[in-house]
Amino acid sequence: MSVVINLDGRSLTREQLVAVARGASVELDAQALRAVARAADFLAEQVRREEPIYGVSTGFGSNADKLLGGHPMRDTAVNAAAPGRSLHVELQHNLIVTHAVCVGEPFPAHVVRAMLCIRINTLLRGHSGIRVGTLQALAALLNAGIVPVVPQLGSVGASGDLAPLSHLAIVLIGGGEAFFAGERMPGGLALERAGLHPISLSYKEGLALNNGTAQMLATGVLAVQQLDDLLDTADLAAAMTIDAFAGRLGAFAEAVHELRPHPGQVHVAENLRAMLADSSLADIRYHLVPRFRQWQPNSWSMFSNGVLPGDTLASRQPCFDIGWEWVPLDQRHGRDRFYQRFLPFRGGKKHQPQDSYSLRCVPQVHGAVRDAVEQAKRVLDIELNSVTDNPLVFPDSNAEHVEEQVISAGHFHGMPLALAMSYLKAAIPVLASISERRLNKLLDPATNDGLPPFLIGNEDGTESGYMIVQYTAAAIVNDLASRAMPASVYSIPTSANAEDHVSMGANEARHVLAMADDLGKVLALELYTAAQALDLRSDMITAARELARNCDAMAFAGKVQCGPRTDSPDHGQFLVEVDNLRSELSAAPAFRPGRAVAAAHARIRESIAFLDRDRALDGEVSAAVRMVEDGSILAAARAALQTR
């Protein structure tokens, strides 16, 4: 059964708008239509009484001081083509056909459908003067699947989105272009093929149709809807990276975030705790984590076939070697308490109580971006059911003069949306930047806590691994940062300075929608890289465990550097401590990431195999981006969380 959204001008939600953008139909609330009819009848009566009303019996913008006469002062081509058409009708017709001047690539269909839905909903409030029949024709166009061609460039965000909304309205009167049944065609032909007819505009209808914030609002809502999933994806990518680092969880503790309870920060910390629940990699004891060493032909010579007996690695030969450094007795002075708790071995996990900012400060950074998105939602939710054209008609007012019933105001000005979107434009590069920093940290042997450089064995010196993946992420982050400057701070006056301050909100929201796509690409690259790092970390620790279970202390000592000479008095203690390490590893249960991280990792591995040697990565990168776009990685993690 197809979804139908009831529009009444007062209760449209972001979720409903997204449903219409994706193909749901709309129906018009009967009570709302009665209010629409009252306003239209009121305007018609004022015109009959020859009351001067902006945009009805006067010109627009800088022409507001020109009163319409009773007939044309000269014959025009328009009047010749439509004899008997009043100047009031000509005014509205000309407004639409002259304002449909946007350029650039057309908006996608879902954006245009959202714009149509928003315009219909706001007109249903009954303060715009549009006729019921015109509003029904607009709804019929939307429900028929006609998508007006709306080029993306042309709105300054005051008086609303005049030019793009004119591209919507021009199809309604049989002009412009539209997509219908997958084909681009003249607007009149699209109406004909859908069994619809063009309409003629009446008093103030052109102004009602094109004077509002529907483009910036539609793109803003769709961007925020996309960002909702990307915020959770960013938390998931961070969680997978934290597991790959065998990171520390103390920074995400509930008690910690009660002391600075920004809502987004608290939410992200809770997310991380849930995603990393059941992980035996996070908070693992320092000395259990080995450091990567390059594979050599004799790396696993203690096993006849070179393959460890553990289930995890039985399907492939290890592409790495592992090792630790022993801390000599004379280097432990003043550190006795530490070495009572931890064995004296340096491996892949640094002996420090805190991780770098890109891991430890995920709640603070991701949370601040969440708070920016929540602020945008607050603004968008108000705007969805607001009247944004001009002038505003109050047919039920008991005012004595028409000037008190038809009031010129500034609700078309997009600054509330523009500033909310500028906040998001600043926030998106922040989220992308910290993701790229985590990705880079995984690749750099100076920062990746014992993983191989660029996450590849490279024993022959011929392999680049994931090195260039970081280049792509860096390029995108730079591009996002270069687009982060607020458009709203740079007003360019229009209409001969009648519109002397504009919002540029349409550009802000359009940028945010495009930037959200690019943010998803950066997060996909982190997930792609973190999956490789997680495999390597898990395999290295598992290899250490299986090695410990299948050899004695002397054999295990071969993986430890800096040990004393066999004739040294410290050699006996060295062997005891090596055996303690071997025993602890041998007794350890299987090492695993958090449940949600494991599910996301498994989804990635369904499409992308572990990289044991260099191969073409372009298809894999595209696959990772698609899995973020379609939400399948996030869906796998969410499903795992629901089974807890």
pLDDT digits (tens, 9 = 90+) for 382-436: 999 999 998 889 998 887 788 888 888 988 899 999 999 999 999 999 999 999 9
The burial class, CB within 10 Å (0-12 / 13-18 / 19+), for 572 is exposed
pLDDT at 292 over 60: yes
Give the mean model confidence (pLDDT) for residues 173-186.
97
Give the mean model confidence (pLDDT) for residues 554-559.
92
Q: Nearest CA to 432 among 238, 267, 251?
A: 238
Catalytic sites, residue numbers: 54
The pairing of strands 560-561 and 321-326 is parallel
HEC letters along 34-50? HHHHHHHHHHHHHHHCC
Residue that has been written with the tokens 């910690």 in this structure: 256
What is the percent of the chain where pLDDT is above 90? 77
C-alpha 331 chain-centroid distance: 50
Give the domains, in start order, of the chain with CATH numbers: 4-212 (1.10.275.10), 224-294+320-374+420-488+502-642 (1.20.200.10)
Tokens standing for 161?
A: 């989105």
pLDDT at 319 over 90: no
pLDDT at 626 over 90: yes
What is the percent of the chain where pLDDT is above 70? 94
Give the mean model confidence (pLDDT) for residues 271-299.
95
pLDDT at 644 over 70: no
Amino acid at 586: S
The burial class, CB within 10 Å (0-12 / 13-18 / 19+), for 371 is middle
Pick the most confident of 309-318, 327-336, 352-361, 429-438: 429-438
pLDDT at 269 over 60: yes
pTM of the entire predicted model = 0.93
Which SS3 state, helix, strand or coil, does residue 3 take?
A: coil
Rounded-to-integer distance, Cα 395 and Cα 574, Å: 93
Which SS3 state, helix, strand or coil, does residue 238 take?
A: helix
pLDDT at 363 over 60: yes
Rounded-to-integer distance, Cα 384 and Cα 417, Å: 11
* pLDDT tens string 432-444: 999 999 999 999 9
206 close to 138: Cβ distance less than 8 angstroms:
no
338-359 as b/e: b if 16+ CB within 10 A: eeeeebbbbbbbbeeeebbebb
> Which ranges constitute the DSSP H helices of 451-594?
467-482, 505-549, 553-556, 571-587
pLDDT of residue 62: 67
pLDDT at 270 over 70: yes
Tokens standing for 367?
A: 């949370």
Annotate 433-464 with DSSP letters as a single string.
HHHHHHHHHHH-TTTSTTPPGGGS--TTS---
Q: Provide φ and ψ at 103, rounded to 5°.
A: -130, 170
612 close to 316: Cβ distance less than 8 angstroms:
yes
262-271, 314-323, 513-522: which range is least confident on average? 314-323
Which SS3 state, helix, strand or coil, does residue 57 take?
A: coil
Tokens standing for 155?
A: 């709105």
Higher pLDDT, 19 or 496: 19
The one-character DSSP state at 353 is S
C-alpha 128 chain-centroid distance: 34
Residue 107's pLDDT band, with cuts at 50, 70 and 90, is: very high
313-332 as b/e: b if 16+ CB within 10 A: beeeebbbbbbbebbebeee
Reported as half-sphere exposure (CB side, CA atoms, 13 A), residue 590 has a value of 7
pLDDT of residue 51: 80
pLDDT of residue 492: 85
595 close to 277: Cβ distance less than 8 angstroms:
yes
Rounded-to-integer distance, Cα 497 and Cα 516, Å: 34
pLDDT of residue 183: 97
pLDDT at 84 over 60: no
Q: How high is the mean pLDDT of the chain? A: 92
Tokens standing for 398?
A: 């008991």
pLDDT of residue 495: 80
- Give the DSSP H/E element, type plus range, for residue 72: none
55-64, 111-120, 175-184, 528-537: which range is least confident on average? 55-64
Which SS3 state, helix, strand or coil, does residue 467 take?
A: helix
pLDDT of residue 304: 58
* pLDDT tens string 458-502: 999 999 999 999 999 999 999 999 999 998 888 888 887 877 788
Rounded-to-integer distance, Cα 86 and Cα 360, Å: 69
105 close to 9: Cβ distance less than 8 angstroms:
no
CA dihedral over 386, 51, 61, 113, signed as positive or negative: positive
pLDDT at 457 over 60: yes
Give the mean model confidence (pLDDT) for residues 211-223.
96
Higher pLDDT, 603 or 405: 603
pLDDT of residue 490: 81
Which SS3 state, helix, strand or coil, does residue 345 take?
A: strand
Give the mean model confidence (pLDDT) for residues 373-388.
97
Task: For residue 391, say if its preceding peptide bond is cis, omega within 30 degrees of 0.
Answer: yes
CA dihedral over 619, 625, 629, 634, signed as positive or negative: positive
Which SS3 state, helix, strand or coil, does residue 347 take?
A: coil
pLDDT of residue 67: 74
153 close to 215: Cβ distance less than 8 angstroms:
no
Q: Provide φ and ψ at 566, rounded to 5°.
A: -60, -25
148 close to 168: Cβ distance less than 8 angstroms:
yes
